[in-house]
Amino acid sequence: MSELYAARRTRLRDRVAGAGSAAALISRPANVRYLTGCAPPGAALLLGPADDVLLCGRPLSGDPAEGRPADDVRVSVLPSRGGDPVVAGADLAATAGADTLAVEEHHLTVTRHRALSQVAPRLRLTDLACAVEGQRLVKDDEEIACLRIAAEIADQALGELLESILVGRTERHLALELERRLVDHGADGPAFPTSVATGPNAGRSGHLPTDRRVEEGDFLSVCLGANYRGYRCEIGRTFVIGTTPSDWQIELYDLVFAAQRAGREALAPGVECRDVDRVTRHVLDAAGYGERLGAWTGHGVGLEIDEDPQLSPAAMGKLDACVPVTVEPGVHIPGRGGVRIDDTLVVRPEADGGPELLTITTKELLAL
């Protein structure tokens, strides 16, 4: 695994050197983990000019959830009152003779950036921009293997919930139970706060669980994901509580299902991201729900639950093979509830069988 991280850092180093910087300081946690295998809270990675140093504010915990640093990364633990690892990194770069340092301006605050200038006044700070995020877009086999396990864990947790009694239980309890099951099945934790939405809440994007109890006749929409070795997936399903879904529920469900299928089927290398969004959105738009849709209908996943690419009308760029994305349209009708259906898939060429569905729980409209 150490070679993998070394190759990622070499690729970044080449890019940084090509842009005229001797060194780079990476502070965004997911980027630090991508390049070193490890991201203790607040740590920063100094890439060159000499060796690669992971600066940490406290000793490594050794916990698998935090990861382990690659063998060829030097770990430097600041003394217990040693301040900010990012500032220490700039100081180290200057001491090691760098004259230019590329930093992540989209992650550093104005105040922190100023502290770097103050600790190393002769160091010219440039913007690394989203270079590491760009590298993270296409996933390698190890990353996809982690995502596959994460999806399997989420499927298992959701499957078990469906076998239990739901009526009378609150959204909060169901969400906590799902998170416990994720951990039972080997997740390092939930990938994001689990959303459970019943009745009039169902179908709301990012709904925070409340004390509302599940009732007969409700729509129940659930969105959860597992974090496995830092990699995060997402699955969302909507069910009906009771024996027979009513007509409006069946209609709305079929519509959202059709939209989600259209999005899934549009995934292929070379396709514009906004075109995937457009075909998904079109189905709902044509049925008069265009105004109720959010800003996007899907997004990339990986070391963060919401990363590039974005599937939205304004998105630039095309999909590549081995890019994992969600397809997750939803409609929420105020006062009535709604439907969301959400899968994580990996973009694959048609010759390889087309998009690989990671979250395999059924998308039939189940009555629970």
- Residues lying near its own copies in the complex (CB under 8 A) are found at 41, 58, 61, 63-66, 80-81, 105-114, 127, 172-173, 176, 179-180, 183, 204-208, 210, 293-295, 312-314
The residue among 111 and 243 lying less far from its own copies, judged by its C-beta, is: 111
Cis-peptide, bond into residue 190, ω within 30° of zero? no
CA-CA distance, 301 to 232, in Å (whole number)? Answer: 6
CB contact set of 161 (below 8 Å; sequence gap of 6+): 174, 177, 178, 181, 222
**291: buried, middle or exposed (CB in 10 Å: 19+, 13-18, 0-12)?**
exposed
Whether the CB-CB separation of 280 and 259 falls below 8 Å is answered with yes
CA-CA distance, 169 to 213, in Å (whole number)? Answer: 5
Query: Which H or E run includes 102?
Result: strand 100-103
In angstroms, give the least distance from the CB of 348 to its own copies.
29
The residue among 126 and 135 lying less far from its own copies, judged by its C-beta, is: 126
Whether the CB-CB separation of 75 and 67 falls below 8 Å is answered with no
The residue among 194 and 365 lying less far from its own copies, judged by its C-beta, is: 194
In angstroms, give the least distance from the CB of 311 to its own copies.
13
In angstroms, give the least distance from the CB of 244 to its own copies.
30
The residue among 15 and 212 lying less far from its own copies, judged by its C-beta, is: 212
In angstroms, give the least distance from the CB of 285 to its own copies.
13
In angstroms, give the least distance from the CB of 65 to its own copies.
6
Q: What is the DSSP letter of 240?
A: E
In angstroms, give the least distance from the CB of 181 to its own copies.
10
In angstroms, give the least distance from the CB of 46 to its own copies.
18
| Helix, strand, or coil (residue 332) | strand
The residue among 265 and 306 lying less far from its own copies, judged by its C-beta, is: 306
CB contact set of 111 (below 8 Å; sequence gap of 6+): none
The residue among 103 and 347 lying less far from its own copies, judged by its C-beta, is: 103
In angstroms, give the least distance from the CB of 111 to its own copies.
4
- Scan for tokens 């939803």, then name that residue: 330
The residue among 224 and 240 lying less far from its own copies, judged by its C-beta, is: 224
| Amino acid identity at 124 | R
Nearest to 40 by CA among 20, 17, 59, 21: 59
The residue among 139 and 340 lying less far from its own copies, judged by its C-beta, is: 340
Whether the CB-CB separation of 147 and 346 falls below 8 Å is answered with yes
* Token couple for 84: 């900010």
Q: Can you name the residues that pair with 331 across neighbouring β-strands?
A: 339
DSSP string, 24-84: EEE-SHHHHHHHHSB--TT-EEEE-SSS-EEEESS-----TTTB---TTSEEEEPPTT---
Helices 171-184 and 141-162 cross at an angle (nearest 10°) of 130
In angstroms, give the least distance from the CB of 250 to its own copies.
27
